Amino acid sequence: MATKEKVEIKGYTAEERAAISQAELRASAEELERKSQHLNAQKLDIEAQQKKLQQDLNAYRKTSVYRVLDFIAYGVERLNPSTIRTLLVHCMNKLNGNIDGIECTLKYDKEAPKKA
Protein backbone atom coordinates (compact mmCIF):
# COMPACT_ATOMS: atom_id res chain seq x y z
CA MET A 1 0.00 0.00 0.00
CA ALA A 2 1.36 3.40 -0.99
CA THR A 3 1.61 5.94 1.74
CA LYS A 4 0.71 9.56 1.20
CA GLU A 5 3.67 11.73 1.77
CA LYS A 6 3.32 15.45 2.24
CA VAL A 7 5.32 17.27 -0.37
CA GLU A 8 6.99 20.33 1.04
CA ILE A 9 8.12 23.30 -1.04
CA LYS A 10 10.23 25.83 0.80
CA GLY A 11 8.85 24.72 4.13
CA TYR A 12 5.18 24.60 3.07
CA THR A 13 3.09 21.70 1.99
CA ALA A 14 1.41 21.83 -1.41
CA GLU A 15 -1.95 22.35 0.30
CA GLU A 16 -0.58 25.27 2.32
CA ARG A 17 0.95 26.86 -0.79
CA ALA A 18 -2.35 26.42 -2.67
CA ALA A 19 -4.26 28.04 0.21
CA ILE A 20 -1.80 30.96 0.33
CA SER A 21 -2.02 31.36 -3.44
CA GLN A 22 -5.81 31.26 -3.25
CA ALA A 23 -5.84 33.99 -0.60
CA GLU A 24 -3.47 36.15 -2.67
CA LEU A 25 -5.63 35.69 -5.76
CA ARG A 26 -8.77 36.61 -3.85
CA ALA A 27 -7.06 39.74 -2.53
CA SER A 28 -5.97 40.64 -6.07
CA ALA A 29 -9.49 40.09 -7.40
CA GLU A 30 -10.96 42.28 -4.65
CA GLU A 31 -8.43 45.03 -5.39
CA LEU A 32 -9.23 44.86 -9.10
CA GLU A 33 -12.94 45.06 -8.32
CA ARG A 34 -12.36 48.14 -6.13
CA LYS A 35 -10.36 49.78 -8.94
CA SER A 36 -13.09 48.94 -11.44
CA GLN A 37 -15.78 50.45 -9.20
CA HIS A 38 -13.63 53.58 -8.71
CA LEU A 39 -13.18 53.96 -12.48
CA ASN A 40 -16.91 53.48 -13.06
CA ALA A 41 -17.66 56.19 -10.49
CA GLN A 42 -15.18 58.51 -12.23
CA LYS A 43 -16.78 57.71 -15.60
CA LEU A 44 -20.23 58.63 -14.25
CA ASP A 45 -18.80 61.87 -12.83
CA ILE A 46 -17.21 62.74 -16.17
CA GLU A 47 -20.45 62.02 -18.01
CA ALA A 48 -22.33 64.30 -15.60
CA GLN A 49 -19.74 67.04 -16.14
CA GLN A 50 -20.00 66.63 -19.93
CA LYS A 51 -23.78 66.91 -19.74
CA LYS A 52 -23.51 70.09 -17.63
CA LEU A 53 -20.94 71.54 -20.05
CA GLN A 54 -23.26 70.84 -23.00
CA GLN A 55 -26.13 72.55 -21.17
CA ASP A 56 -23.92 75.56 -20.44
CA LEU A 57 -22.78 75.73 -24.08
CA ASN A 58 -26.37 75.62 -25.28
CA ALA A 59 -27.36 78.41 -22.88
CA TYR A 60 -24.35 80.47 -24.04
CA ARG A 61 -25.23 79.97 -27.70
CA LYS A 62 -28.86 80.88 -27.10
CA THR A 63 -27.93 84.07 -25.24
CA SER A 64 -25.36 85.03 -27.86
CA VAL A 65 -27.77 84.51 -30.76
CA TYR A 66 -30.56 86.33 -28.95
CA ARG A 67 -28.24 89.33 -28.54
CA VAL A 68 -27.61 89.51 -32.30
CA LEU A 69 -31.24 88.90 -33.27
CA ASP A 70 -32.39 91.56 -30.82
CA PHE A 71 -29.93 93.98 -32.40
CA ILE A 72 -31.27 93.17 -35.87
CA ALA A 73 -34.92 93.34 -34.81
CA TYR A 74 -34.65 96.78 -33.26
CA GLY A 75 -32.47 98.29 -35.92
CA VAL A 76 -33.36 96.54 -39.14
CA GLU A 77 -34.08 99.85 -40.88
CA ARG A 78 -30.57 101.06 -40.02
CA LEU A 79 -28.78 97.98 -41.41
CA ASN A 80 -27.75 97.11 -44.92
CA PRO A 81 -29.10 93.80 -46.26
CA SER A 82 -25.56 92.43 -46.49
CA THR A 83 -24.96 93.24 -42.82
CA ILE A 84 -28.21 91.52 -41.88
CA ARG A 85 -27.24 88.49 -43.95
CA THR A 86 -23.81 88.33 -42.30
CA LEU A 87 -25.33 88.55 -38.83
CA LEU A 88 -27.94 85.87 -39.62
CA VAL A 89 -25.24 83.52 -40.95
CA HIS A 90 -23.27 84.19 -37.78
CA CYS A 91 -26.34 83.17 -35.74
CA MET A 92 -26.83 79.98 -37.75
CA ASN A 93 -23.17 79.06 -37.32
CA LYS A 94 -23.34 79.82 -33.61
CA LEU A 95 -26.39 77.57 -33.16
CA ASN A 96 -24.59 74.79 -35.04
CA GLY A 97 -21.62 75.13 -32.68
CA ASN A 98 -19.20 76.17 -35.41
CA ILE A 99 -17.99 79.45 -33.90
CA ASP A 100 -18.18 79.29 -30.11
CA GLY A 101 -16.29 82.12 -28.44
CA ILE A 102 -16.70 84.57 -31.30
CA GLU A 103 -18.91 87.55 -30.54
CA CYS A 104 -19.76 90.13 -33.17
CA THR A 105 -19.21 93.79 -32.49
CA LEU A 106 -22.66 95.20 -33.06
CA LYS A 107 -23.04 98.70 -34.42
CA TYR A 108 -25.43 100.19 -36.89
CA ASP A 109 -24.27 101.13 -40.35
CA LYS A 110 -23.19 104.78 -40.67
CA GLU A 111 -25.53 105.37 -43.53
CA ALA A 112 -28.98 103.85 -43.34
CA PRO A 113 -30.08 102.11 -46.50
CA LYS A 114 -32.12 104.40 -48.69
CA LYS A 115 -35.77 103.55 -49.06
CA ALA A 116 -36.96 103.22 -52.63
Q: Is residue 21 part of a domain?
A: yes
Return the higher-pLDDT residue of 109 and 37.
Answer: 37
**Exposed (0-12), middle (13-18) or buried (19+): which is 113, by Cβ within 10 Å?**
middle
Q: What is the pTM of this model?
A: 0.65
pLDDT of residue 17: 85
Number of domains in the chain: 1
Q: Is residue 76 part of a domain?
A: yes
Q: In the structure, what pLDDT confidence band is assigned to residue 101 with cuts at 50, 70 and 90?
A: confident
Q: What is the pLDDT of residues 36-59, one digit of tens each?
A: 999 999 999 999 999 999 999 999
Q: In the structure, what pLDDT confidence band is assigned to residue 116 with cuts at 50, 70 and 90?
A: very low
For residue 91, give its domain range: 11-95
Q: Is residue 1 part of a domain?
A: no
Q: Is residue 54 part of a domain?
A: yes
